[in-house]
Chains A and B, each alone.
Chain A
Amino acid sequence: MSEAPAALELVDVAAGYGAADILASVTLRAAAGRITTIAGPNGAGKSTLIKTLAGLLRPRRGRILVGGRDVTALSPAERARAGLGYVPQERNVFRNLTIGENLRIGHEFIHRRASRREFALARARVLDLFPDLAPRLNGLAGALSGGQRQMLAMGCALISGPSVLLLDEPSAGLSPRYVATMLDAVAQVNRSGVSVLMIEQNLVEAMRVSHDAILLVGGEIRGRWNAAAFLADPEVRTLFLGGTQRVAAPAQPERQRDGASAA
């Protein structure tokens, strides 16, 4: 499957906070038009990886390419304009702004010259995908439930029509019913032509919709599977269904990172 053109490519990327590298040397390709899930135990560096991709963390080494274009030196804003949509795990909507304003902000800074009609069409597409949001456009985003907030966050990333969507644990903190809805929405978005790279803890649900799976352990890529084969692999089974402690990365960098991102 690696013959397909890469939607997103990392070449020898090292990144971290303070003195320590969390990602040692990561090289990976997410194929265009597919859903790629990055799995790994806690502290494996999944969040660091996705923040590095989004541009919130500068890599110390290596290159990042979106659709073949080198975006390593670009800021998060420039990467967004280059077609990279990102849905953070937490703090992923502007809580003090209305839902309508959130959607508008998702669109207007990427398509600066868009007409009202173009925005209305883009918004209609998002509201088709997440009809729950439609009656609440004038409500504050901070008042939404966890699942609705996740939908809004995804809607904000999708409304600008990105070519690649980065999702940081789209099902985190959601009730089982919402997990399925959310991942179905991811699959639907992907069918419309958007390449997806996501981190997910809920591997059983994630593999239901994913095409490819990549295993990240201790800041290094351990392997790559077809989604259907991933959970059957003996190494993966040991890692997630027991013996997790063996590979658990130190917890300290994880905490530092949270402090830094909150500042």
Chain B
Amino acid sequence: MMGYLVAILTFVSLAVLLGLALNIQWGQAGMINFGLAGFYGIGAYTAAILAKHGVDGFTATAAAIAVTAAFSAGVSLATLRLREDYLAITTLAFSEAVRLVLMNEVWLTGGTDGIRDIPRPLVGVIGGEHYEVAFLVACLALIAIVYGLLERIVSAPFGRALRAVRDDDVVAATLGKDVLALRVKAFAVGGAVIGLAGALHAFYFTYIDPGEFAGFVTVYAFMSVIVGGKGSNRGLMAGAVTVMILLEGTRFLKDVVPVLSAQQVASLRLMLIGVGLIAMLIYRPQGLSSEYRLSARQPAGAEPGS
């Protein structure tokens, strides 16, 4: 039971990191990242490949962060002046391209077999027995650090400028170079956090394959942000936990409905996540914890009194 709890909490930690990343990209800067899974994959594979080549875990993690941030900045540059849809399209296409590389460049990524036996950092020092717990503690510490940094960004002039650009049509339409640079930075910061989460993923599971970096990862992250209330880091924590509880809770669905195969139960769970996401957008677009919201946003074209 203890082991299960530690495992679940580690999953939740990874989900929280991804959610925090999406929250600065989408929640704060209004930049949609439909390719989150692809960036996550880049982070995980960078860390795994380097670790397999004898690079120590910390350097490999730092490299994963840097590489993912660099790719994020590059992708966001291509659509900087265009409407949000274009970034959504580009990131999604990017993530498909990443998936292709992961599956086909066998010499580098192992193809569909993935990478096995990824050496964990400090495993000799901590020892196998308590490693999982130590790993969880490290994850929680990293969340605290990332949270602290992101909160500072949110309340700094940088964060205010981001939200101003996101919310004000006039400012957005006449973007100067500095403001454009802000957006690239925001997307790169988010990318760095995704890279960190990817590296942690690789070291935690010690085995990765392309199937783990598919669209559902992106959907979970969006779900966490939407449930938590877009733009709020505190809400995001609650959101990510809620989504993971939902996911884990529905795992027991097959005990309730025994006629279904494992495959059907899995599909049903994912369907429920999708339905939940849509229901949130319809009924509670401000998230479940709206009191944490940083800025009330009047949607364009709102009917008065509705």
Q: Could you tell me which A residues sit within 8 Å of B by CB distance?
A: 15-18, 57-58, 60, 259-260, 262-263
Chain A residues touching B, majority SS: mixed
Q: Is the Cβ of B304 less than 8 Å from the Cβ of A16?
A: yes
Query: Which A residues are CB-close (under 8 A) to B298?
Result: 18
Q: Is the Cβ of B301 less than 8 Å from the Cβ of A263?
A: yes
Q: Is the Cβ of B305 less than 8 Å from the Cβ of A263?
A: no
Q: Which residue of A lies closest to B299 (CB)?
A: A263
For B, the interface residue count at a CB cutoff of 8 angstroms equals 9
Q: Is the Cβ of B304 less than 8 Å from the Cβ of A17?
A: yes
Interface residues of B in 13-36 (CB under 8 A from A): none
CB of B105 closer than 8 Å to a CB of A: no
Q: Is the Cβ of A263 less than 8 Å from the Cβ of B300?
A: yes
Query: Which A residues are CB-close (under 8 A) to B117?
Result: none
Chain B residues touching A, majority SS: loop
Q: Is the Cβ of A260 less than 8 Å from the Cβ of B300?
A: yes
- In the assembly, what is the distance between CA of A58 and CA of B170, in Å? 25
Q: Is the Cβ of A58 less than 8 Å from the Cβ of B304?
A: yes
Give the 6 A-B CB pairs with smallest separation, nearest first: A263-B300, A263-B301, A60-B305, A260-B301, A259-B169, A58-B303
Distance (Å) between the CB of A235 and the closest chain B CB? 31
Query: Which B residues are CB-close (under 8 A) to A18?
Result: 298, 302, 304
Distance (Å) between the CB of A182 and the closest chain B CB? 30
Distance (Å) between the CB of B173 and the closest chain A CB? 10
- In the assembly, what is the distance between CA of A260 and CA of B170, in Å? 12
Q: Is the Cβ of B303 less than 8 Å from the Cβ of A259?
A: no
Q: Is the Cβ of A259 less than 8 Å from the Cβ of B300?
A: yes
Q: Which residue of A lies closest to B170 (CB)?
A: A259
Interface residues of B in 248-306 (CB under 8 A from A): 298, 300-305
Q: Which residue of B lies closest to A16 (CB)?
A: B304
- In the assembly, what is the distance between CA of A236 and CA of B303, in Å? 34
Query: Which B residues are CB-close (under 8 A) to A259?
Result: 169-170, 300
Q: List 15 A-B contacts (CB under 8 A).
A: A17-B304, A18-B298, A18-B302, A18-B304, A57-B304, A58-B305, A60-B304, A60-B305, A259-B170, A259-B300, A260-B300, A260-B302, A262-B169, A263-B169, A263-B300
Query: Which A residues are CB-close (under 8 A) to B304?
Result: 15-18, 57-58, 60
Known: A17-B304, A57-B304, A262-B169. 11 other contacts (CB 8 A): A16-B304, A18-B302, A18-B304, A60-B304, A60-B305, A259-B169, A259-B170, A260-B301, A260-B302, A263-B169, A263-B300
